[in-house]
Amino acid sequence: MSRVILHLIEPDTEDSTVADAILSTEERERAARFVFDSDRTRWTAIRAAARRILASYLDTDPASIEWKAGEGGKPYIPSEEFEFNLSHSGELAALAVSTAGPVGIDLEPVSRAIQLPECEESFCHPLELSDLPKEPSLRALALLELWTAKEALLKAHGSGLAFPPTSLRIEGTRGIADLPGLDQFHLLRPLRKSRPEFSIAVAVPLRINEIDLA
C-alpha cells in the first residue's frame, strides 16, 4: 500500500559520539565545516538519526546507506522501495518517507515569521502579495505558510529553489506555475495542531490524502 510516513527527530536527544560514527567520510567533512559547535552537533545528530530511520526500511546498517544528492539537491538513496525528504530547523527535524512516489517537506519555526515581511517580494508571486493580510502579525504568519508550501512543492518536484519562488503561486493546497509535473502534487499539513510552534508543509502525490505519523 502506498503511504507517506512522517518521522520527527529531536537532535538534542541524540548521542553525538554514536551519531558521528554512523556518518560517511563526506558527511563528517561537511559537519566539520560548521563554524559553531552547536550547529555541527545538531546537523550530525539529525543526519545520523535519518540514516537509522531509512536503514530500518531497508533492514540494513545505517552506516552502509549511500546517501546521494540528485538534481536540485534532492536527497536519495539507490533504492526502488521508497523516496524521502528531510527538513530541519534548530531543535526539530522532520523526515518524510514515501512509498507513493516523490515527496517534499519543509519545516520552519513560527518565530521566524517576523523576519519575512522584509523579504516578501523575493519569494512571493505578485498575486500573492495583493492577497496578503494587512495586519502585521497575520501577514507574517501567512508569509511563513507560503514559504514552507513553496519549498515543499519544489523539493517534491525536484527542481528545488533553482526554480524562482516568485514564479510559483500557491492556491489552496496546490502550486500554480509553468513547471511540468508540479500539478501532480498537493500539500498536507499533518502537525498543524500538535506542533503549532512550527509551520510544516509536506508535498505528496495527489492520491495521498493522509500522512501517517511514526
Per residue in 176-206, pLDDT tens? 999 999 999 999 999 988 999 999 999 999 9
- The residue among 71, 102, 133 that closes a domain is 102
| Mean pLDDT, all residues of the chain | 93
In whole angstroms, what is the distance from residue 155 CA to residue 159 CA?
Answer: 6
Percent of the chain with pLDDT over 90: 81
Residues 64 and 80 in one domain: yes
Residues 208 and 111 in one domain: yes
By residue range, what is the domain housing residue 167? 105-213
Confidence at residue 15, expressed as pLDDT on a 0 to 100 scale:
79
- Total domain count, the chain: 2
Say whether pLDDT at 71 is over 80: no
Residues 21 and 36 in one domain: yes
Residues 146 and 189 in one domain: yes
Say whether pLDDT at 70 is over 90: no
Residues 206 and 114 in one domain: yes
Say which residue the cell 492556491 belongs to. 171
Q: What is the pLDDT of residues 79-109, one digit of tens each?
A: 778 999 999 988 899 999 999 999 999 999 9
Angle at 160 between CA 154 and CA 164, to 5 degrees: 85
Grid coordinates of 110: 513560527
Say whether pLDDT at 16 is over 80: no
Confidence at residue 141, expressed as pLDDT on a 0 to 100 scale:
97
Residues 109 and 207 in one domain: yes
Residues 49 and 96 in one domain: yes
CATH assignment at residue 148: 3.90.470.20
Pick from 16-20, 52-56, 106-110, 114-118: least confident:
16-20
Grid coordinates of 194: 500538535
